Every structure is written in structure tokens, then in C-alpha cells.
Structure 1
Amino acid sequence: MIARVLSIAGTDPTGGAGLQADVKSIAAAGGYGMGVVTSLVVQNTRGVQQVHTPDPDFLEAQLRAVSDDVIIDAVKVGMIADQASAAVVVNWLRNLPSNISVVVDPVMVASSGQALADSVSADLLTCATVLTPNVDELAALVGKPAASSRAELIAQAQVLAEKTGALVVAKGGHLADDDRGNTLVNATGELAHAASWFVDTTASHGTGCSLSSALATRLGLGESPQVALEWATSWAHEALQYGEAQAVGTGNGPIDHFHRLRRQAKSGLQNPAVPDKRNRHQPVVKASGEHTRELWEYAGESLDRFGSDGFISALMQGTLSGSQFTFYIEQDDYYLNIYAAVLARLAAAAQSAEERSFWAESVTGCIAVEQGMHAQWNLDPSTVHPSPATLAYTDFLRAETGSDYVVAVAAVLPCFWLYAQLAAFVPDAIPEDHPYKDWVEAYRDEAFQASTARAVQIAEGLLAAASDHQRAAAQQAFWRACQLEADFFAQALLLDTL
């Protein structure tokens, strides 16, 4: 399904805010974007210079041109410059079917701080399914000073919800908290919170417009307000993270509306048959000699995918959604069950008593981790179904460990070595309210790093004594396993594909 979403808003010639940003956001969120112009705004990343508002009759003609021809699934209302224009929009909205979601972003001031509209119609607010004011706009609408805490912000949002009958998104972008996320509020209080950690950026132009348009689109797709807000908040956070890289304008630049789609498209590409030997990542667990140093070079491509725009980044920042995290631990539980069996094969094939003991102890460790997951997260293994990516990885390991012992060790090594490398991504300080704090801190486990060092040492010894043919096969198996390891982690972030 593609939601047909209409934006009613002012313009931005530089494309970062207003109608242009809305249409981009609608497309990024899975909709077909349409636009009715309320005002022509002369603005750029440095601010607003001029506003021209056409005659209300022209606004009405635009609205009718859309609704007379196109089925509409959701509406986003942004900047409306005057009461005459607001009256036209209100009259048109009241004639729409009642099942159409209407998200009103009561734009009063641009992100540059300059005024765009003198007032917001009270009648318009009562037409909304959801209202998305920022901190200052919310304060103005309830006649209070701007909130300085989340509790105060939610209290003001509750007042506005009582006055209008709409749901209100209390946006925390202007608060001083580490968590700048958004809270869904109704007349009785908080319904849901979508966390979003602070992004230090010079490119936040149009964030509010974009969030509300994405929210409207997800509602138009049939999602609940809670789920739609979680998706829109996560998407906007990623768009904020990468806005500066677009290098648009000399002021407060726009967010990157399509970063998520590019990331997801890249994750779906097939990797070339020949590995690219390059690795900019310094290993947390060092190589044991020339052969494992060469193996480490094959891990670079995969570790790049773990980086700034991957699953690990989202997990470390706490922006991973609850559904994505649950999916990940379910797949991890299935994987560990198979991995324990794979390690048992290595123990049976090992060429020394010390190696047999190491692999057997690793099996015990896998089982202990799996049991801990069952207890902590209330997993029921009978209800967990492996994804294609998980099956690809586990089937590969089963196949490789059924052949040459040297190649088999190389195939299982990335699960040790790349996982140990995740310690390099853990932030120095993890907020107490981080939703995955315990999980993230576990990546620093010194015992696992010691086990990884022993696995690397075993691989080094085996490769040193191996034939050229064995070493080439081991290198290929190691590289393939690295790619499958990266695919395994990446798949949780693909859950929101459309």
C-alpha cells in the first residue's frame, strides 16, 4: 500500500522546509506526496526574507482540485499565514471523510526564529487528529512560559489535548535532555514515548515539518499513532544525523530525508565475489601473526557496515525501536543454538586436546548466553522463526564446519572477532535511562575478549601450518562469514522497509 498524503503548507525555495520538505518526507515514509500552497515564502538556510500569501479563493481552488480527483489517506497542515486562509482550510477539512488522519503542525516561527504566521486558528486545531507543536508553539497555544523539562512539556501537551480533543506530540527537540525524543499525549496524560538522543548538528532546518509529514504518512498507511510516532521519530533522528553531509546552504542546513532509504538499498546489494582487502579499524583483539593480520584485512567491508549508520550505531544510541531489538534477540537466540552445535563439531575435529577443550568450553558459553536471554527477555524458542539472513549464516557455518578443520576455524572466527570488535563502538558514558544499557555494556566483556584472543591464536597456528590451497579457502570462508555477520546485524534495521 502507498498512502496518498496531502501537504497544505508554505514553500521553501531551498527545499529544506515547508511543502518541499513535506513531499520528500512523505515519499521517504512510504507515501505519494501532494501539495497545496498556502504562502510563497522567500527563505533559505539563513532565514526568512519575505512571505506572499495568495488570495484565499486560490487556496480553496487548489484544495478542491485535489479532493475532487484523488482519494486522500492523510493530510498534513503546516504554515497558514492568516485567519482567512485558515477558514478555507477548516471548511475543506470538515468536509473530508472522518477516517482521514489530519496532522496539524501549528507553524508560527521558523527554525531560524523568524515569524511566519501571526496566529493559529482554534477551529483548525480542533480539526486535527494529531497536533505537533514545538516547545515554543505549545507554550503559546496554552498561554504558558516555554517548558524547561519533559514533565512540564507533557503537562502542557495534556492541556492542549483537553482543549482540542486531539492527540498531541510533545516534541523534546528544544529541551536540554540527552533524550530529545517525542511523547504522545492525550487528555489523560502520556500514551507513549519515542526516544531520540541529542544530535549535535548544523543541519536541522525543516525537522518539525518533516516529522509531522512522516507521521501523517505512517498514519495514512494504517499504523497506530504510537507505532507511527516511533517510526517517524527514528527516521527523523537518522535524517538529522546525516544532514550536514549534504552541504546545502551556509546557514542551518536541511536534514537528509532519504538517508534511510539509501542505507536500506545498500544493505540489499549483493557483494562481489572477490573481497576488498582494506580495513581502517584497529582491532580490539590483536592478530596473532601474519596470517591473522591478513584475515583482519578481509573484515573491513563488514565493519564499515557496523559503523555510523548501521544497527550497532542505533543500538548504542538507544534509537533502535523495541520491535527491532526484539527481532534481533530472537534471531540471535536461534543463531546461538546453531552456533553451539557448530562449535561442538570443531571440538570433535580439533587436532589437540587443548583445542578440543577450548571449543567445548565455547559451546558451554553459548548455551549459558542463550539461557540467559530466555530468562531476561522471556523468549520462547518454539515461537522463534529464523529469517532468510539468519538461515543463510547458520547454513553456511554448518556447511563449512563439515569439511576441512582449518577452513572451519576460519569460518567461525568472525563471530568471535567481529563481535569482540563491537567494544570499540561502545560510548564512554551510557545514560542510565538508555533502553539497552545492559546489553550494550556486555560488549565490553573481558572474558569474551580473552576467548576471542585464543580463537585468533588457534587460527594463526593452523594457517601457519596449512597448505597454500587451505589458506586461500580459509581466507574466502572468513570473508564470507564476515559478510554474513554484517548481514545478520543489518537485518533488524530493514524491518521498516515498505
Structure 2
Amino acid sequence: MGGGTVKNILSIAGSDPSGGAGIQADLKAIAANGGYGMCVITALTAQNTQGVSAVQAIDGHFVLAQLEAVSADVQIDAIKIGMLANTQVILAVNDWLDTVDAPVVLDPVMVATSGDRLLDDDAALDSLLDRASVITPNLLELASLLREPAATQWSEVLEQAQRLAAKHDALVLAKGGHLDGEVCPDALVSAQGVLAEFSNPRHHTKNTHGTGCTLSSALATIFASSQDWVSALEQAKAYLFRAIVAADELHVGSGHGPVNHFVDFFGTVDPMDQWWQQIQGLRDSIDNLEFINQLADGTLKAADFGYYLAQDALYLQRYAQVLAEASALAPDLEAQRFWAHSASEILEGELQLHRNYLVEGSANPSATTLNYVNHLSASKQSYAELIAAILPCYWLYQDIGKRLASANHEDHPYKQWLGTYASDEFDLATERAINMVRSAWQLADPGLRERMRLSFVRSAEHEVAFFDQARLNRVEFSTV
């Protein structure tokens, strides 16, 4: 029987001899997300990265025999269902589901990425859809299940997903990967509407074979541990994004190659580079802020700069404490000394710099400031999560400081402040902080790695709001 923290995940799907989709992709994704993978094969395919040339369905009675053998001996914590090929196999799986109690992620594999049909009777799926916890169709499959034309707009995809959810009393993962645009949206939809929506920048590569199999298997695996579909989807989607980004490292076939399922284990892509790429949209939004543009050209009003510095001074007092806490949690002497020295630098250096600009007086922390420091406090569950949350305060300031350095000159009203974050000393400190986080990531399991990434992204979001709060305060004050 299954036990401990590793969950037993059963994939019911077809085989892909080229290894990029089907059972082979499912087992890789399950393992990469910390599960123990099992499989029942429903069909054999003759396929490669260029397409499917033949399909041989497994006899329904033998499919049922496989299912019964597994469930008679092993506790099943979650089920992923993929390609089922024909009505006989669907009925066998349907009958067996009456005997087990586990969440079901149903990926209604009807058409391969190459365009080849993989199911001979769409209507036969209806009874199985009623048993699913989550249904994960692509855009074309979603339309086929509803007997409707394919959606061309994201709003239409969400509407179709809601109708399918209501029809089968299940959650539906709406996927926008086949739509045009530079962003790939996904949403978890119930009969009542959208529960959560996520998006990643589109990564341009032809190597996306097996993305649907990979996402649904990761979703089932993560949910088996978390018991939270929204959180599981966020983590599964992030895992798939990393696997797609690293897909070009593999050299499998001449057509649509597979994603890199084990990117977190032996991929050569630097996770810090991936994190930096994932916050590209946030970095772009910082560049468009009134505060940053006026800071660059020296036209930022003293009152706005003063408000920002007052809030930053309040933030830095708590930030220094967080750095000290990171030092206490650090696993080695080098890291302990680095974070402790950083805390000292905040108290003796940056806060003194702020005082040079600030007029006497007291300020209360804004809601933006409180939200940021509360996020840092909430990240103290582990050393790795905490330093991931700390990192944007180094990395984003270094990035901004370097890019604004060209605007700095002797008569710039904020010359000293700009120079601090464009200095060689701050570059070195930022690089050391990045290396500390990278080292912690390398020692972390997949779940902790994802929590680290989320802590980093959340802090980056708080940084954007922090830079914009002087403008918001001025707008709010003017309306009072």
C-alpha cells in the first residue's frame, strides 16, 4: 500500500514510442513532480516527432485486467486519464472507476499536436467526463466536446469551459496556448465561473510535443499532495513553462520535439535566468512607471521622492531584520556572514543615505509597505523561501541602477541615491545573493523549488507597487 509523502499516481493512456507524449510523458512528469508513477496502457501507437502513422487499441478486457491488477495491490492517490482510442476501452475504464476512490484528471486526447485523430468516437467520452474531477481539453477538444466551433478569443474559451463544467459537474482547465498572442493564458473554471487565471509569456519553440499530457499529469501529481486545485495548477503550469523553455536543449527528432521533463534535475538552463525571464513583464512595467521615468530625467518632485524614501526607510528597518533572520537560518558560515553583513549595511549605509534626503518628521507605513513586509514575514517557513523573497530587492534595484546610471550627472538632484545602486559594491552583493539562492534551489526538492519561485515573483510584484506608491498617494491626497 502507498504511504509516506510520495503519492501513487496512475496514468491510463496510450504509448508513444518516441517518448515525448502519452504514457512516457506522463511517467516523466509524475516523477519530476515527486510522485510514484504507474501506468495502464490503452493503445499502442506508431509515431515520432513528425506524426502518428498507426494506432492499435488494446482490447478492453485486457485494459480492465491491467486496472484491476494495479488497484488490487496499490493505493492510488490520483488518476490521470489520457488517450482511450475507442468505446470499448472507455467502457472498461468507466466500469473500473466504480471500484476506486481517487481524484481524476481527464485529458480528453482526441487529436494529436500533429493533427492526427486519436479517438474514434467523441460521444462515448460523455459518461467518463461525468466522473472527472478536472477536465483538461485543448482549444479544439473543448469545442469538440461541446459540439461547437472552436473559440477564437480567450473570452469565448472561458465561456465554453464554463458550459462544459456545468454540463459534467467538474472543473475545467481552459487553455489558450493555441490562440494568437505573446501570452499563454490558462484558467481553472467551474460551473460558476473562473476560479483562478494564470499566464506565462509565450516561448517560441517548435518543441511542444506532449504538453497536454505533461500538464495534466503534473496537475494530478501535485494535487495528490496539496489537495488544492488552484495551487496545484499554478505549480503545474510553472513546471510546464520551465520544461518548454528548456525543450531546445534536447535533440529528439526533426519534427515537434518533446519538452524537457527533467529540466529541474539535469537541465543546463540556469533557474535564476528562468526566474528573471518570468518577471520580464513586471520589469517592463517598472520602466513605464512615472516615478522611474521622472527619477531618470531628474524631474521627480521632492515631495514624491521624499514620500518614497520615508516608506523605504520604514521598509528597510524590517528588511534588515529579515536579513538577520536569513543569517540565523543559513546552513553554512559563508551564507551566515553574507546575510548578517547585508543587514549591517542596511542599518549603517542605506538608511543613512535616506536620512540625507529626508526632512525631519515621522511617517506611518502605507498599506503597500505593510503588504510587502508581511510577505517577507510569511516567507520565513524555510531559509530557501526567505532568501528567494529577499532577492528582488537586490536584483531589481541593481537592474534599475545600472540602466539609470547613464542619466546620472553632477547636477542630478538624486545623484547619490542613483550611484549607490549602480556601484561595483552593489553589483557584487547582488551576484552573491543570486548565487546563494541558486545554491539553495539546487538542494531543494521540486515542491520547495516552486515555493521559492513563487516567493521571488510575489516580491517582484510588491517592488512594482512600492515604486508606484508615491503617485498613488498623491492622487489619493488630491481627492480628499
Q: Unaligned 5+ residue runs, structure 1? A: 268-303, 320-330, 348-355, 394-413, 427-441, 460-473
Q: 1:54 Cα shift?
A: 2.1
| Residue number in structure 1 paired with 2:345 | 342
Q: How far did residue 75 of structure 1 move?
A: 0.4
1:448 & 1:43 partners in 2: Cα distance?
66
| Residue 315 (structure 2) pairs with residue 313 (structure 1) | no
The structural deviation recorded for 1:175 is: 1.2
Per the alignment, residue 257 of structure 2 pairs with 253
Within-5 A mapping of 1:30-429: 30-97=34-101, 100-120=102-122, 121-262=125-266, 306-307=272-273, 309=274, 311-317=275-281, 334-336=318-320, 342-346=345-349, 361=356, 373-374=368-369, 377=372, 379=374, 385=380, 388=383, 419-423=396-400
Whether the 8 Å contact between 1:158 and 1:188 is mirrored in structure 2 is: yes
Amino acid at match of 1:342: E
Partners of 1:73 and 1:211 in 2: how far apart? 17
Deviation track 1:23-46 (CA, whole Å, cap 9, x = no partner) reads: 001111221001110000111100
Between stretches 334-343 and 82-91, larger displacement belongs to 334-343
Distance, in Å, in 2 between the alignment partners of 1:178 and 1:188 is 28
Q: What do residues 437-475 of structure 1 show as CA deviations (whole Å, max 9, x unaligned)?
A: xxxxx999979995577448987xxxxxxxxxxxxxx9x
1:335: Cα distance to partner? 3.4
Calculate the TM-score normalised by the size of structure 2: 0.69
Distance 1:160 1:371, change over 3 A: closer
Q: In 2, are the aligned partners of 1:8 and 1:78 still within 8 Å (CA)?
A: yes
| TM-score normalised to structure 1 length | 0.67
Q: Distance in 2 between matches of 1:484 and 1:362?
A: 27
Counterparts of 1:256 and 1:448, CA distance in 2? 50
Q: 3-state SS of the aligned residue for 2:152?
A: coil
Cα deviation 1:129-171 (Å, max 9, x = unaligned): 1100000000011111101111111111111111111111111
Q: CA deviation at 1:189?
A: 1.3
Contact 1:343 1:359 in 2 (8 A): no
User: How many angstroms apart in 2 are the aligned matches of 1:247 and 1:451?
Assistant: 50
State the alpha-carbon separation in 2 of the partners of residues 445 and 195 from structure 1. Answer: 34
Structure 2 unmatched runs, 5+: 284-314, 324-341, 442-447, 453-480
1:180, CA displacement in angstroms?
Answer: 1.3
- The one-letter code sitting in structure 2 at the alignment partner of 1:49 is S
CA 1:444–1:197: 2 relative to 1, 3 Å: farther
Compute the displacement of 1:196 (Å).
Answer: 2.0
CA shift, 1:181, in A, is 2.2
With over 3 angstroms needed to count, the CA separation of the structure-2 counterparts of 1:317 and 1:445, relative to structure 1, is farther
Once structures 1 and 2 are overlaid, which stretch shifts more, 245-254 or 384-393?
A: 384-393
Question: Where does structure 1 differ by over 6 angstroms across 4 or more consecutive aligned residues?
Answer: 367-372, 380-384, 390-393, 414-417, 442-449, 456-459, 489-493
**Equivalent position of 2:305 in the other structure:** none
Distance in 2 (CA, whole Å) between partners of 1:260 and 1:240 is 12
Looking at structure 1, the residues matched to 398 and 17 of structure 2 have their Cα atoms a distance apart, in angstroms, of 45
Partners of 1:425 and 1:219 lie apart in 2 by 42
Find the aligned partners of 2:164 and 2:393 in 1 and give their Cα distance: 53
- The residue matched to 2:194 in structure 1 has which SS? strand
> Offset at 1:15?
0.6
Question: For structure 1, which segment, 176-185 or 11-20, has the greater mean C-alpha deviation from structure 2 after superposition?
Answer: 176-185
**Alignment correspondent of 2:458:** none
Return the offset for 1:188: 1.4
Considering only aligned residues, what root-mean-square deviation do their CA atoms show, in Å?
4.3
Q: 2 CA distance for matches of 1:261 and 1:369? A: 46
Q: How many residues align?
A: 387
The alpha-carbon distance between structure 1 residues 35 and 22, as it changes in their structure 2 partners (threshold 3 A), is: same
1:267-289 Cα distance to aligned partner (Å, 9 max, x none): 9xxxxxxxxxxxxxxxxxxxxxx
